[in-house]
Structure 1
């Protein structure tokens, strides 16, 4: 009997040694969690994105059918589990979001909104993407969306005021720069906030982030300037090469993207850059189209654009023929 007791004590001592090994293993696992890497973090993120809390402690034991511990053990497990879970999950409080996470996003958005084409932006896209992902997992999507909209709205209001102060001879070019710069920024901003778009805007608001941000430019810039901009565009159209063709095309196409009904303000202008704006041509109007084309060619010649060698053609033949065919084809005549 005594030998059996001694044997059990020795086994208990060995068990203590095993417990020490398990504790060391727990410490190692704890550190691995704290580093923020590994398979467990992805499982945690996936459960949070699905709206499911992670299983831990007594809840996990109950889930697996384990025996229920006593009240004291439960209380101790809850306390330990709460502190451990916070450590493992790297819980982001609203204060953490406001003081640490949003400032990083705010700075990156600033740089993206103000960059010029071809500029190098010294930001870590991976870091920004990770910030957005963590904030979504920690249920800060609504606050983040609100901050993003407010941030971009303030930027666009400043852009609008700068345009209002522009002289007429620079107005079209500056509007073109503002439009191109903003649309270029969206190509980076929208992908960075893809998790917020997927798990909050599309799911809860039934909208799309890109559409929302384009609408902001329409409301805070384009709508405020369209009635000043359109007369200048029409004037530039009547004076060839007052502005570059590429600038005219960018603005007209951009306005059509923002609000297609603006076509009604200047159908002839939009028809030069947007297909199928005007109704199909009819044969009875061919002479009128030819006259318009002849007028355009005369204006080009007056501004120094020669028609080239016409020695093989009778005078006026090219104007009449090309005028009819070009205008008819531009109106969809068959």
Structure 2
């Protein structure tokens, strides 16, 4: 196990093997470093008898073992140390990842956090660390949900999309940082996956509490072209579908515009309805300043014929 020591807020990797060997040799020379040219054995080049040299080697080996054991015990992380030193560092990094804007960059020592998690897992703090992580993110999402509740209707859709994309972006960093905890505790003892647990947290704490308010606004925005950008609409619909596919039933026609194979195959009896929808969409485009171009060569009923041929023969 790598020995991670904390000095001045950082975690440095140290080489216990070399460090302990140097201590043993120093003790053999009365606390002084071994003379040059004698890095391994003590006394043989100085004329010390073989038996005495063997005894000295055995003593140094015992000293090495005792020193390593003492050093390991000195670096055991107590529950109090975990709570006062290690978890605050992890919590601070998580907070930054959850709240930073996608356009912002807040420097985080990923190596330091990764090493901190590794050390805590090796010292049997996985269960507490998982509990603390879930609690931290739950509180954050509860705050996000409260902010959404206070958002006016004209900003509600954009606010929800920002919360969804920001959280999913944060998971791209949080999950890899806790990969050791995921592998050696969540997967092996809980039979779950960290990312799935954190995605479910957003579903439970945010999406389920707002989907009934959000869906009517999405339907209204979809019926009014350019009220919100197509990319925002696609982001939310695909995000909701990823969180809970059964939410399709709330607005099948809306989801079918962004998720393939949602609706059953079209019937010939619905051609007139499709043509009417297409004509309405074209009128909306004209009302919003988009020209239809030269329509002088379009024949009556051409739209229906085109749709009919696509249904039977595939795209032309």
Q: Is 1:281–1:333's contact at 8 Å kept on the other side of the alignment? A: no
Gaps of at least 5 residues in structure 1 are 1-19, 28-73
Residue number in structure 1 paired with 2:102: 117
Q: Is 2:256–2:262's contact at 8 Å kept on the other side of the alignment? A: yes
Q: How many residues align?
A: 262
Task: Provide the rounded CA distance (Å) in 2 between the counterparts of 1:161 and 1:302.
Answer: 38
Q: Residues 192, 291 of structure 1: CA spacing in aligned structure 2 closer, same or farther, 3 A cutoff?
A: same
Residue number in structure 2 paired with 1:15: none
1:48-197 equivalent positions in 2, closer than 5 A: 83-87=70-74, 90-197=75-182
From 283, 293, 297, the equivalent of 2:278 is 293
User: SS at 1:247's partner residue?
Assistant: helix
Q: Residues 81, 131 of structure 1: CA spacing in aligned structure 2 closer, same or farther, 3 A cutoff?
A: closer
Residue number in structure 2 paired with 1:23: 24
1:214-239 deviations in whole A, cap 9, x for unaligned? 00000010011011000000000111
Q: Residues 130, 323 of structure 1: CA spacing in aligned structure 2 closer, same or farther, 3 A cutoff?
A: same
TM-score normalized by structure 1? 0.72
Q: Residues 318, 128 of structure 1: CA spacing in aligned structure 2 closer, same or farther, 3 A cutoff?
A: farther
TM-score normalized by structure 2? 0.76
Task: Provide the rounded CA distance (Å) in 2 between the counterparts of 1:213 and 1:306.
Answer: 47
Q: Does 1:276 align with 2:261?
A: yes
Q: Which one has a larger percent helix, Structure 1 or Structure 2?
A: 1
Task: Provide the rounded CA distance (Å) in 2 between the counterparts of 1:236 and 1:83.
Answer: 67
Task: Provide the rounded CA distance (Å) in 1 between the counterparts of 2:209 and 2:292.
Answer: 42
From 241, 248, 267, the equivalent of 2:226 is 241
Q: Is 2:126–2:181's contact at 8 Å kept on the other side of the alignment? A: yes
Residue 106 of structure 1, CA deviation: 0.3
Q: Does 1:204 align with 2:189?
A: yes
Q: Is 1:293–1:323's contact at 8 Å kept on the other side of the alignment? A: no
From 309, 314, 317, the equivalent of 2:298 is 314
Q: Does 1:257 align with 2:258?
A: no
User: SS at 2:166's partner residue?
Assistant: helix
Residue number in structure 1 paired with 2:252: 267
1:66-125 deviations in whole A, cap 9, x for unaligned? xxxxxxxx9x999877534314xx211111111111011000000000011131121100
Q: Is 2:141–2:202's contact at 8 Å kept on the other side of the alignment? A: yes
Q: Residues 284, 270 of structure 1: CA spacing in aligned structure 2 closer, same or farther, 3 A cutoff?
A: same
Q: Residues 191, 119 of structure 1: CA spacing in aligned structure 2 closer, same or farther, 3 A cutoff?
A: same
Gaps of at least 5 residues in structure 2 are 1-20, 29-61
